[in-house]
Amino acid sequence: MRDMQVEPQAFDRVLSSMCTDPHPAARDAAERFLATNPGDPGTYPNVAALEDNAVALLSEIAGLEEPAGYITSGGTEANIQAIRIARERAASRTPNVVMPESGHFSFQKAADLLGVELRIVPTDDRHRADLEAVRASVDDDTAAVVGVAGTTEYGRVDPIPELGEIAQSVDAALHVDASWGGFVLPFTDYEWHFDHAAVDTMAIDPHKMGQAAVPAGGLLVRSPDLLDELAVDTPYLESTSQATLTGTRSGAGVASAVAAMEELWPGGYRRQYVRSQNNAEWLADALEKRGYDVADPTLPLVAADVPRSTFDALRAKGWRISRTATGELRVVCMPHVTREMLASFIGDLDRLEVRASVPVVSDD
């Protein structure tokens, strides 16, 4: 098969992804800016100016008064760079980072690359960072405390203000990973952003709930001087320094992030949040009625204790579903996930269960 004949997958059975079908305006902007490189602003000034818009819009969403940050390749880069800032700022020569076990695996990469110790602490019975455990783990060598605002497996929001207080007590930075949650949390009562707590850095990704095209992550910092910790000189470019991890990077991501946010913030995102949250609650209810243990969907993400054999059978039927570390079925109610899709999913589940409960008739 020649490459040109390969089509991307359709979204009609995708329940496991934290990315989604980009908004049409975001798709269009991505195409128009495909051949631009915001890594070289002296040569590509238009996309560089667009990036300022992107950071301004992201900052508004995240309660950051003075916009500062950049569009990353994704949550992984934003998390690595945030830990890098914290390490550079820390006085310790043997820095550590304290993170709940619900933290994303990108922090493992950050710890490996940056030579910091990652101290993973337990979550409580609601899958949120256990504050006592965090308190017991920080010390004078702690460079950063990580809080997650919308966890990958259960969609939970850590107690961010309290984590900020703990971080301040040992002069550490507070990094909030709102990579997935950042575009739904503005419509909830959670305290998660720069204006709610002593947040120093944040990951917030347009290419997840923000409906931008991949790659469009976001790193925000409380004050622009934090970016100086990342900056290196760029002798052969007309600009003087670069704070990003990648060099050449996608102008498509930057442009599509701006297009999506201009189109959807705040009304479109609010409507999407309500739709997604209703879908998650509908699915949780449907699964509970069928006798499965379901974790309360506090954000649009459902985790349920479905047997492995059922999970495998649903995958064999083409459903793109995934499991948590402890084996629960995990469904992310992204914008492309409709009620009809979920009803069809439950229909397949019911047919499997009926088959499983039919007694095997033997001849003897």
Nearest to 158 by CA among 118, 117, 202: 202
Q: How many CB atoms lie within 10 A of CB 11?
A: 18
Q: Is 152 in the site for ligand PLP (CB under 6 A)?
A: yes
CA–CA separation, 119 vs 116, rounded Å? 9
CA–CA separation, 10 vs 317, rounded Å? 15
β-pair type (329-332, 301-304): antiparallel
Q: Which is nearer to ligand PLP, 104 or 222 (CB)?
A: 104
> Of residues 117-146, which lie at the interface with ligand PLP (CB under 6 A)?
none
Q: Is 76 in the site for ligand PLP (CB under 6 A)?
A: yes
Q: Which is nearer to ligand PLP, 76 or 81 (CB)?
A: 76
- Alpha-carbon torsion angle 230, 235, 236, 242, nearest 10: 10
Site string for ligand PLP, 55-74 (x = CB under 6 A): -------------------x
> Cβ of residue 75: shortest distance to ligand PLP, in angstroms?
3
Q: How many residues make contact with ligand PLP (CB under 6 A)? A: 14
Return the beta strands (E) in 297-343 as ranges.
301-304, 322-323, 329-332
Site string for ligand PLP, 250-279 (x = CB under 6 A): ------------------------------
Q: Which is nearer to ligand PLP, 129 or 286 (CB)?
A: 129
Q: Is 104 in the site for ligand PLP (CB under 6 A)?
A: yes
Q: Which is nearer to ligand PLP, 13 or 104 (CB)?
A: 104
Q: Which is nearer to ligand PLP, 110 or 287 (CB)?
A: 110
210 near 19, Cβ under 8 Å?
Answer: no
> Cβ of residue 153: shortest distance to ligand PLP, in angstroms?
9
Helix (H, G, I), strand (E, B) or coil at 173: strand
Q: Which is nearer to ligand PLP, 67 or 74 (CB)?
A: 74
Q: Is 153 in the site for ligand PLP (CB under 6 A)?
A: no
161: left (phi over 0), alpha (psi -120 to 50) or beta: alpha
Q: Is 335 in the site for ligand PLP (CB under 6 A)?
A: no
CA–CA separation, 300 vs 286, rounded Å? 15
196 near 50, Cβ under 8 Å?
Answer: no
- Which stretch, 75-83, 119-127, 184-192, 298-306, contacts ligand PLP (CB under 6 A)? 75-83
316 near 351, Cβ under 8 Å?
Answer: no
Q: Is 180 in the site for ligand PLP (CB under 6 A)?
A: yes
CA–CA separation, 90 vs 187, rounded Å? 34
The single residue among 69, 217, 218, 300 that binds ligand PLP, judged by CB under 6 A, is 217
Q: Is 107 in the site for ligand PLP (CB under 6 A)?
A: no
Q: Which is nearer to ligand PLP, 127 or 141 (CB)?
A: 127
CA–CA separation, 322 vs 230, rounded Å? 35
> Cβ of residue 148: shortest distance to ligand PLP, in angstroms?
6
| Residues within the interface to ligand PLP (CB under 6 A) | 18, 74-76, 79, 104, 106, 148, 152, 177, 179-180, 205, 217
